[in-house]
Amino acid sequence: MEHAGLSNRISSIVSADEVQTFKPDPRFYAHFLERTGSATATTWLVSSNPFDVIGAAACGWRTVWVKRNPNAVFDPWEHVPTVIISNLMELPSLLALSEDVQ
């Protein structure tokens, strides 16, 4: 975060290493909620990796799939993203809208 110039904007980092597992293991998502005090229904995961989106959606989170390649296919199994965007520049307005809906 420091190298990217983001350390002053991040209050905490939650690592999968803390629970010795990786996404999409449900234990990671539960650990995140516990560490942050977040509620499942109001927590968002943003990723360009479908397996991340599927794992979070399976745990009840809202999800954003960043579909960087317009030809990419999302293999949803049983879960689909809440929202699909093509780049991270779309994220601020999306999250602002989601605050109005809650």
84-96 pLDDT, tens digit each: 999 888 888 877 7
Given this model, what pLDDT does residue 83 score? 93
Beta-carbon contacts of 7 under 8 Å, excluding residues fewer than 6 positions away, are 1
Asked whether residue 2 is domain-assigned, the answer is no
Looking at the DSSP assignment, which residues form a beta bridge with residue 64?
46, 83
pLDDT under 70: residue ranges of the chain? 1, 4, 6, 97-102
* 41 in any annotated domain: yes
- Asked if residue 92 is part of any domain, the answer here is yes
Q: Domain range for residue 84?
A: 7-101
Asked whether residue 1 is assigned to any structural domain, the reply reads no
Q: What is the pLDDT of residue 57?
A: 96
Count Cβ atoms below 10 Å from residue 34 Cβ, excluding itself.
11
Return the pLDDT at 66: 94
- State the total domains in the chain: 1
Read off the DSSP letter of residue 68. Answer: -
Examine residue 55 and state whether it is found in any structural domain, yes or no. Answer: yes
**Residue 27: exposed, middle, or buried by beta-carbon count in 10 A (0-12, 13-18, 19+)?**
middle
CATH code at position 70: 3.40.50.1000
In a domain? residue 12: yes
What per-residue confidence (pLDDT) applies to 50? 93
